């Protein structure tokens, strides 16, 4: 029997962030996804140090299978492509490129979309309705089609593909921001704050912003995965990044020619895209649960 | 790798259970034809789908060779000065009877006159129909060569030339000289729909058109009254499949019987598959980088020479052609008569190239754009890849290359208009005569019609070509062409890259199929082994 | 009722109006010579006049001549569109037939390992880059195992006259001796593309059905039904499903644009002669006339279908229907 201390145990109330982190950690899939995604981000950031070769360097070994095959060489972990470039290096640099591009897209689309959503939520009915209709319409348009038309106008190439994908993503941010703000504005504590005489800025910064953050964070993760997918799709269709750029979709479309005789040149880049998307989506799902948004 | 291919080869392919397949040959072609009128095109894709299937010419090449044999003309006489050609036309040649046209008469002199006058006479009611130009007719300078075409009788036509022209008969055997139906044209004109002539064709050839869905398929049926006798092959389908890997996949799966322009990598792996058999023969082609001399810095000879030194052709042969080609130094292929093998190629030497650039005043290099076409051709299996290799090579001498890729038709049109800086071009000889390379690709006349992609106009060179053409003595022609090749090498308007070996991959059930040295496909005489799928 | 109808029509009109603004705006960026048919030629025209002229041309069906084939683009669109509809409907059916029961099953077994497995699998489907997925399936099913054809809608040996443009119908209408065999072949060709195109919608339908079903199963009337001793089967299929299906209907509407995006890629991979492949080839040809027509036509169709789905879900939902 142990001696019981005669004072109250100090109770540490976990902060909201800590609570959410805890609940996120409980979700094993999401935690694993976080790990995988961190690895991908790490590989992307340190690509020049991790990748054994320059992504455009051409060796004399063409279409070498991955190293675990009999004909493979350990020098080229995942084999080489049609003109003798190391696939592993290209995929690592591709991670760098894809994540960077997706980040740029999300920053562009997010800042424009959130500002517009903010404007819509706080402005009068007419502007709000007009904006709503426009966004609904853009949402109704097939995203890739819109991106393709934009690319057709301003010409294929990476920067143009970025603008196109960003434009397609904007409406999602507008709608999420708008509905989140309006949701909060209708709550009683906000009314109380307004009655207390809080100014618009104070109102926004102190009580609306913290409460609309969760849906926005989830939207950002979703936007991130959509951006990666659409950029890759444009690359695959020959409208995004142009060869010899090691963008994943572009690599895939280049290797398409070898699907019959060198299937690994198709399966590997696809796996890279797939695992990145899967980890982000699992992460998004986990966040949604942790942030308790599924009501 | 072996694991995969064995897996593929051992697979039981998706198969039809009935005899429907036994009567249909499916050709996986590389693209939609621009039109069904070969007069209006220079693209092999269009010729495959029109002149070679639907039409005949006055004289024709014996299949698989470049020898001339009688076609719609049974015989001909050439005047002693070489300026008058009289053709005796074949009697009883039936035209196609289709859903859209029923001929009331056999082929005669009117059809011949119509087919040539449409291209020659700018006031002809059909001259401007379809809004496309007669590139071949014009670049062969036939507008000035043919003075008059005379109908002597129902079955006799006479061509008056402005000068003696030795390749004239070979010219008449070319695709653009196909004979269309005058009666059909007149009917369409009276209906006010003349453009239909180029979309819904009527000819005398071995097959007639049944149905065409753009970008999907072209369906032909054997012409039952064909003058050479009805084809054994009842049905012919062109399955339009621009993606080469898809073409190969379809062939391997037994969905196609013949595939257009296989990639080198397909040829090397074809032996793993039950339904793939490789045919090969020396090609009559060249692929090259054309530098547009109307634009800087390609107006400078030193820059052009620098590029000739900077590009590693051997690496290209290895990576792009997978060794199924030889390096090029002259504009004509080695199997063409008059090829000058004594000319030395500029060696691959980046340091010489850098020095040349310095001398030309480009110490820091320059920016250039290379245009490529997205479709692959018999002379270039992967232009984009070739451009990437060149990009790397030129980076070494400080030249920054941007690559732009266009769909085949767009590419040709834009290059023809001279919008390009430089472009990866190629040419397949279509009549076994060296003139067929020199005149359209390098003469001053070619700069006007746009087939001379370097826009190189050297009067001395053009004069030589002209002399060679009007000469009937073979030995003298050879000398002129050899001299022309030296001039070409000196001025270097191109970087000649490769002469590709021609390959075809066919299903073993296809019999009597021959590769045409001039490129393209020809299904006349081809038949199917009906027992093949019954095992 | 009439008020609703009028309201919906007005909404539709404004949407289409905004759409023409967008397409008109886009045409401003096209090279001038490619759009002669829709830009007015008078020299002193202002933007408004040009817009009105543009609308006139569009309504008169004067959508221009395609640069590549020299035929009317509107006609071309109509020849290619049935192939796309056929593929999309097949994909949608696949997604619904597999997705809805899967979602119901997951909801019934909420929080069991089966449920967790299904939910994670949907994420896998949702994360699938379909251009890769398509190639993978072709590699396995068509090239390695030879179970399915590689590409296109029908074996080329069958000569089927296009009447409706729907291959499944045309093969049956055909008077060829092999009509039924061709029908079977067409069905065979539809399998892989439909699976590829249906994968993402399948994932979405499963998730939506599951969460919607869970919500419904929690509601009072279901508890009442349970208390009355109704069988699980009866509760789910007769009472719960109807209400759980409502959000799915809305989602089907939203999925139309996802499907069209998918058809662009699927049709390219399978060489499926539909609108998606047609448009992509137009992009590569820089055929602006075709691009403009394709964008306008597809967008209008999507907007109209969305509106129809909205009306439909209104009728299907008694709560909304009886409000007024």
DSSP B138-200: HHTTHHHHEEEEEEEETTEEEEEESS--TTHHHHHTSGGG----HHHHHHHHHHT-TTHHHHS
B149/C1: higher pLDDT: B149
For residue C34, is it within any domain?
yes
pLDDT in tens, A261-279: 788 888 999 999 999 999 9
CATH number for B285-501 (one of 3.10.105.10, 3.40.50.720, 3.40.640.10, 3.40.309.10): it is 3.10.105.10
pLDDT in tens, B392-431: 999 999 999 999 888 777 888 889 888 999 999 999 887 7
My answer on whether C84 and C35 are in the same domain is no
Strands B510-511 and B367-373: unpaired
| C286 interaction partners in chain A (CB closer than 8 Å) | 152
State the Cα–Cα distance between residues C87 and C193, nearest whole angstrom. Answer: 7
Q: For A262, name the nearest residue in chain B, comparing CA atoms only.
A: B1
Does ipTM top 0.90?
Answer: no
| B269 interaction partners in chain A (CB closer than 8 Å) | 260-261
| A263 interaction partners in chain B (CB closer than 8 Å) | 4
Residues C247/C208, Cβ–Cβ less than 8 Å: yes
| Range B510-516 average pLDDT | 88
| Range B459-468 average pLDDT | 91
Residue of A69, A238, A261 with shortest CB distance to B265: A261
Residue of A65, A70, A244 with shortest CB distance to B388: A244
List average pLDDT for each run of 10 residues in chain C, which is 324 residues long. 78 85 81 63 68 82 76 87 93 93 91 90 90 91 87 86 88 86 91 94 92 87 84 80 80 81 90 89 84 88 85 75 58
For residue C65, is it within any domain?
no
| A258 interaction partners in chain B (CB closer than 8 Å) | 245, 265
Q: How many helices (H) and strands (E) does chain A have?
A: 12, 0
State the Cα–Cα distance between residues B34 and B240, nearest whole angstrom. Answer: 13
Residue A41: which H helix or E strand, with range? helix A28-45
Q: Based on the structure, what is the number of domains in chain C?
A: 2
For residue A106, is it within any domain?
yes
For residue A147, is it within any domain?
yes
Among B63-77, B174-188, C85-99, the least confident range: B63-77
Tell me which of B245, B373, B390 to substitute to probe the interface with A (most A C-beta atoms closer than 10 Å): B245
Chains near C (3 or more Cβ pairs under 8 Å): A, B
Contact assignment for C68 to B409 by CB distance below 8 Å: yes
| C21 interaction partners in chain A (CB closer than 8 Å) | none
My answer on whether C314 and C220 are in the same domain is yes
pLDDT of B442 reads 93
| Range B47-71 average pLDDT | 86
C46/B148: higher pLDDT: B148
Contact assignment for A83 to B5 by CB distance below 8 Å: no
My answer on whether C45 and C77 are in the same domain is no
The pLDDT mean for chain A works out to 85
pLDDT of A280 reads 93
Report the CATH architecture of B1-32+214-276+507-535. Answer: 3-Layer(aba) Sandwich (3.40)
For residue A199, is it within any domain?
yes
E strand segments, B367-493: 367-373, 400-406, 422-428
Question: CATH 3.90.76.10 spans which residues of chain B?
Answer: 52-195
What's the DSSP call for residue B311?
Answer: -
Tell me which of C16, C68, C127, C143 to substitute to probe the interface with A (most A C-beta atoms closer than 10 Å): C127
The residues near A271 (Cβ < 8 Å, ≥ 6 apart) are: none
Q: For C281, name the nearest residue in chain A, comparing CA atoms only.
A: A237
| C129 interaction partners in chain A (CB closer than 8 Å) | 229, 232-233, 249, 270, 273-274, 277
Tokens of A44: 């992307």
Q: Based on the structure, what is the number of domains in chain A?
A: 1
What is the least distance, in Å, from the CA of C29 to any CA of chain B?
A: 19
Residue of C150, C278, C285 with shortest CB distance to B409: C285
pLDDT of B283 reads 81
pLDDT of A3 reads 62
Chain B, chain C: beta-carbon pairs less than 8 Å apart? 105
pLDDT of B455 reads 93
DSSP A91-103: HHHHHHHHHHHHH
Residue of A153, A236, A267 with shortest CB distance to C136: A267
| Range A219-237 average pLDDT | 91
Between the alpha carbon of residue B524 and those of residues B230, B277, B515, the distances in Å are 10, 20, 12
Contact assignment for A243 to B266 by CB distance below 8 Å: no
Among A166-170, A171-175, B10-14, C121-125, the least confident range: B10-14
Residue B494: which H helix or E strand, with range? strand B494-500
Q: Is A141 on the interface with C (CB under 8 A)?
A: yes
For residue A150, is it within any domain?
yes
CATH at A212: 1.10.3720.10
Structural domain including C53 reads 2-59
My answer on whether C288 and C172 are in the same domain is yes
Q: Is residue B53 predicted with pLDDT exceeding 90?
A: yes
| A242 interaction partners in chain B (CB closer than 8 Å) | 403, 405
Contact assignment for B245 to A258 by CB distance below 8 Å: yes
Q: Give me the sheet containing B235-240, strands edge to edge.
A: B207-213, B217-222, B235-240, B24-29, B258-259, B502-506, B277-281
pLDDT of B9 reads 41
Contact assignment for B407 to C147 by CB distance below 8 Å: no
Q: Is A266 on the interface with C (CB under 8 A)?
A: yes
pLDDT in tens, B190-227: 999 898 999 899 999 999 999 998 888 999 999 999 99
Return the number of other C-beta atoms located less than 10 Å from residue B256's C-beta.
28
What's the DSSP call for residue B20?
Answer: G
pLDDT of C161 reads 85
Paired with B88 in beta bridges are B75, B156
Structural domain including A152 reads 25-291
Residues B208/B220, Cβ–Cβ less than 8 Å: yes
| Range B383-395 average pLDDT | 92
My answer on whether C264 and C306 are in the same domain is yes
For residue A197, is it within any domain?
yes
Return the number of other C-beta atoms located less than 10 Å from residue C247's C-beta.
17
The count of residues in chain C is 324
pLDDT in tens, A20-52: 788 788 888 888 999 999 999 999 999 889 888
Q: Is A147 on the interface with C (CB under 8 A)?
A: no
pLDDT in tens, B289-338: 999 999 988 999 999 999 999 999 999 998 888 888 999 999 999 888 88
pLDDT in tens, B332-372: 998 888 899 999 999 999 999 999 999 999 988 899 999 99
pLDDT of B1 reads 35
For residue C199, is it within any domain?
yes
pLDDT in tens, B82-121: 899 999 999 999 999 999 999 999 999 999 999 999 999 9
Q: What is the gyration radius of the CA atoms in chain A, in angstroms?
A: 24
Question: CATH 3.10.105.10 spans which residues of chain B?
Answer: 285-501
Residue C185: which H helix or E strand, with range? helix C179-218
My answer on whether C160 and C14 are in the same domain is no
Contact assignment for C147 to B246 by CB distance below 8 Å: no
Tokens of A128: 């709000």
Tell me which of C7, C122, C131, C150 to substitute to probe the interface with A (most A C-beta atoms closer than 10 Å): C131
Per 3-state DSSP, chain B is made up of helix, strand and coil in percentages (nearest 5) of 35, 20, 45
State the Cα–Cα distance between residues B310 and B296, nearest whole angstrom. Answer: 18
For residue A194, is it within any domain?
yes
Q: Is residue A5 predicted with pLDDT exceeding 80?
A: no
pLDDT of A14 reads 77
C161/B64: higher pLDDT: C161
| A268 interaction partners in chain B (CB closer than 8 Å) | none
My answer on whether C146 and C185 are in the same domain is yes
Among the candidates C18, C36, C59, a domain finishes at C59
What is the least distance, in Å, from the CA of A239 to any CA of chain C?
A: 9
Please report where in the chains the tokens 């700018």 appear, as a residue.
B122
State the Cα–Cα distance between residues B62 and B42, nearest whole angstrom. Answer: 21
Which positions 27-86 of C are in contact with B (Cβ < 8 Å)? 68-71, 76, 79
Nearest-10 crossing angle of helices C288-316, C73-108? 40
pLDDT band at A62, cuts 50/70/90?
Answer: confident
Q: For B20, name the nearest residue in chain C, comparing CA atoms only.
A: C157
pLDDT band at B6, cuts 50/70/90?
Answer: very low
The pLDDT mean for chain B works out to 88
- Yes or no: domain B52-195 corresponds to CATH 3.40.50.300: no
Please report where in the chains the tokens 């699927």 appear, as a residue.
C266
Contact assignment for C286 to B219 by CB distance below 8 Å: no
Q: Is residue A58 predicted with pLDDT exceeding 80?
A: no
Question: CATH 3.40.190.10 spans which residues of chain B?
Answer: 1-32+214-276+507-535
Q: Is residue A63 predicted with pLDDT exceeding 90?
A: no
The residue among C132, C145, C108, C151 whose CA lies nearest residue C199 is C132
What is the least distance, in Å, from the CA of A279 to any CA of chain B?
A: 29
pLDDT of B195 reads 87
Between the alpha carbon of residue C152 and those of residues A247, B206, C190, the distances in Å are 29, 27, 9
What's the DSSP call for residue A84?
Answer: S
């Amino acid at each position: 029997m142990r001696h019981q201390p005669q004072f109250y145990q100090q109770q540490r109330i976990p902060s909201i962030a800590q609570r959410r982190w805890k609940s996120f950690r409980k979700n094993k899939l999401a935690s694993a996804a976080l790990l995988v995604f961190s690895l991908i981000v790490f590989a992307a950031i340190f690509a020049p140090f991790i990748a054994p070769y320059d992504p455009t360097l051409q060796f004399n070994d063409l279409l070498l299978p991955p190293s675990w095959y009999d004909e493979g060489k350990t020098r080229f972990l995942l084999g080489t492509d049609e003109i003798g470039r190391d696939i592993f290096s290209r995929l690592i640099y591709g991670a760098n490129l894809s994540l960077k591009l997706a980040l740029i897209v999300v920053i562009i689309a997010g800042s424009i979309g959130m500002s517009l959503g903010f404007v819509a939520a706080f402005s009068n009915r007419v502007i709000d309705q007009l904006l709503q209709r426009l966004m609904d319409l853009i949402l109704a348009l097939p995203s890739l089609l819109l991106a393709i038309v934009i690319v057709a106008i301003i010409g294929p190439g990476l920067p143009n593909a970025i603008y196109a994908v960003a434009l397609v993503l904007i409406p999602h941010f507008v709608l999420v921001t708008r509905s989140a703000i309006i949701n909060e504005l209708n709550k009683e504590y906000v009314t109380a704050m307004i009655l207390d005489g809080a100014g618009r800025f104070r109102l926004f910064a102190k009580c609306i912003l913290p409460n609309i953050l969760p849906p926005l964070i989830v939207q950002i993760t979703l936007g991130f995965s959509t951006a990666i997918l659409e950029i890759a799709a444009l690359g695959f269709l020959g409208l995004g990044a142009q060869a010899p750029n090691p963008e994943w979709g572009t690599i895939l479309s280049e290797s398409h020619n070898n699907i019959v005789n060198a299937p690994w040149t198709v399966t590997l880049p696809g796996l890279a895209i797939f695992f990145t998307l899967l980890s982000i989506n699992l992460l998004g799902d986990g966040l949604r649960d942790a942030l308790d948004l599924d009501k | 790798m072996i694991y995969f291919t064995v897996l593929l080869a051992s697979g039981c392919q998706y198969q039809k259970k009935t005899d429907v397949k036994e009567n249909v040959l499916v050709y996986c072609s590389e693209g939609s034809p621009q039109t069904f009128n070969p007069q209006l095109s220079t693209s092999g894709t269009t010729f495959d789908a029109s002149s070679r299937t639907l039409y005949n010419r006055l004289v024709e090449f014996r299949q698989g060779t470049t020898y001339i044999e009688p076609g719609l003309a049974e015989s001909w006489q050439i005047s002693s000065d070489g300026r008058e050609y009289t053709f005796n036309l074949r009697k009883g040649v039936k035209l196609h009877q289709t859903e859209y046209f029923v001929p009331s008469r056999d082929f005669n002199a009117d059809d011949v006159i119509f087919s040539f006058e449409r291209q020659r006479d700018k006031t002809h009611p059909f001259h401007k129909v379809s809004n496309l130009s007669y590139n071949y007719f014009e670049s062969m300078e036939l507008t000035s060569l043919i003075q008059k075409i005379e109908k002597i009788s129902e079955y006799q036509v006479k061509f008056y030339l402005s000068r003696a022209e030795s390749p004239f008969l070979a010219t008449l055997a070319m695709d653009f000289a196909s004979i269309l139906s005058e009666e059909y044209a007149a009917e369409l004109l009276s209906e006010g729909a003349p453009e239909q002539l180029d979309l819904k064709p009527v000819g005398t050839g071995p097959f007639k058109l049944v149905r065409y869905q753009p970008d999907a398929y072209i369906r032909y049926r054997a012409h039952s009254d064909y003058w050479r006798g009805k084809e054994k092959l009842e049905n012919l389908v062109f399955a339009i499949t621009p993606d080469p890997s898809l073409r190969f996949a379809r062939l391997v799966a037994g969905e196609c019987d013949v595939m257009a322009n296989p990639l080198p990598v397909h040829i090397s792996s074809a032996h793993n598959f039950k339904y793939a058999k490789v045919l090969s023969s020396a090609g009559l082609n060249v692929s090259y980088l054309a530098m547009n001399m109307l634009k800087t810095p390609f107006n400078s000879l030193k820059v052009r020479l620098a590029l000739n030194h900077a590009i590693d052709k051997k690496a290209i042969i290895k990576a792009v052609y997978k060794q199924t080609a030889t390096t090029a130094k002259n504009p004509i292929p080695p199997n063409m008569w008059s090829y000058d093998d004594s000319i030395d190629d500029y060696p691959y030497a980046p340091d010489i190239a850098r020095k040349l650039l310095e001398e030309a005043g480009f110490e820091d290099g320059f920016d250039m754009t290379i245009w490529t076409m997205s479709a692959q051709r018999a002379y270039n299996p992967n232009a984009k890849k070739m451009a990437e290799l060149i990009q790397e090579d030129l980076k070494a001498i400080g030249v920054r290359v941007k690559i732009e890729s266009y769909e085949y038709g767009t590419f040709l049109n834009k290059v023809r208009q001279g919008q390009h800086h430089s472009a990866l071009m190629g040419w397949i000889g279509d009549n076994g005569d060296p003139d067929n390379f020199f005149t359209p690709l390098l003469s001053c006349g070619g700069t006007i019609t746009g087939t001379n992609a370097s826009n190189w106009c050297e009067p001395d060179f053009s004069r030589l070509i002209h002399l060679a053409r009007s000469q009937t003595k073979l030995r003298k022609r050879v000398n002129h062409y050899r001299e022309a090749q030296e001039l070409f090498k000196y001025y270097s308007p191109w970087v000649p890259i490769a002469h590709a070996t021609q390959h075809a991959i066919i299903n073993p059930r296809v019999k009597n199929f021959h590769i045409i040295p001039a490129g393209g496909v020809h299904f006349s005489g081809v038949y199917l082994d009906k027992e093949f799928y019954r095992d | 009722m009439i008020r609703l109808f009028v309201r919906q029509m007005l909404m539709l009109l404004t949407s289409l109006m905004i759409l023409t603004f967008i397409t008109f705006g886009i045409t401003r960026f096209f090279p001038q010579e490619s759009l002669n048919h829709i830009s007015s030629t008078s020299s002193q025209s202002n933007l408004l006049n040009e817009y009105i002229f543009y609308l006139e041309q569009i309504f008169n069906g004067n959508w221009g001549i395609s640069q590549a084939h020299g035929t009317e683009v509107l006609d071309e669109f109509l020849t290619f569109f049935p192939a796309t509809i056929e593929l999309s409907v097949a994909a949608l059916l696949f997604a619904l037939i597999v997705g809805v029961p899967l979602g119901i099953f997951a909801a019934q077994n909420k929080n069991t390992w089966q449920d967790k497995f299904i939910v994670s699998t949907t994420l896998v489907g949702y994360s699938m880059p379909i251009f890769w997925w398509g190639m993978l399936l072709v590699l396995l099913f068509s090239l390695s195992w030879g179970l399915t054809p590689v590409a296109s809608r029908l074996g080329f040996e069958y000569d089927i006259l296009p009447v409706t443009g729907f291959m499944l119908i045309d093969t049956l209408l055909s008077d060829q001796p092999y009509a039924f065999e061709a029908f079977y072949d067409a069905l065979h060709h539809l399998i892989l593309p439909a699976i590829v195109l249906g994968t993402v919608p399948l994932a979405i339908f499963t998730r939506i059905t599951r969460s919607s079903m869970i919500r419904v199963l929690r509601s009072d009337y279901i508890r009442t039904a349970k208390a009355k001793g109704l069988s699980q089967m009866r509760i789910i299929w007769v009472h719960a499903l109807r209400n759980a299906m409502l959000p799915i209907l809305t989602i089907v509407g939203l999925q139309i644009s996802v499907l069209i995006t998918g058809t662009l890629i699927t049709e390219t991979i399978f060489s499926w002669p539909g609108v998606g492949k047609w448009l992509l080839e137009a992009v590569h040809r820089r055929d602006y006339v075709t691009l403009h027509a394709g964008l306008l036509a597809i967008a209008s169709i999507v907007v109209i279908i969305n509106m129809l789905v909205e009306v439909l879900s209104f009728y299907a939902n008694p709560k909304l229907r009886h409000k007024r």
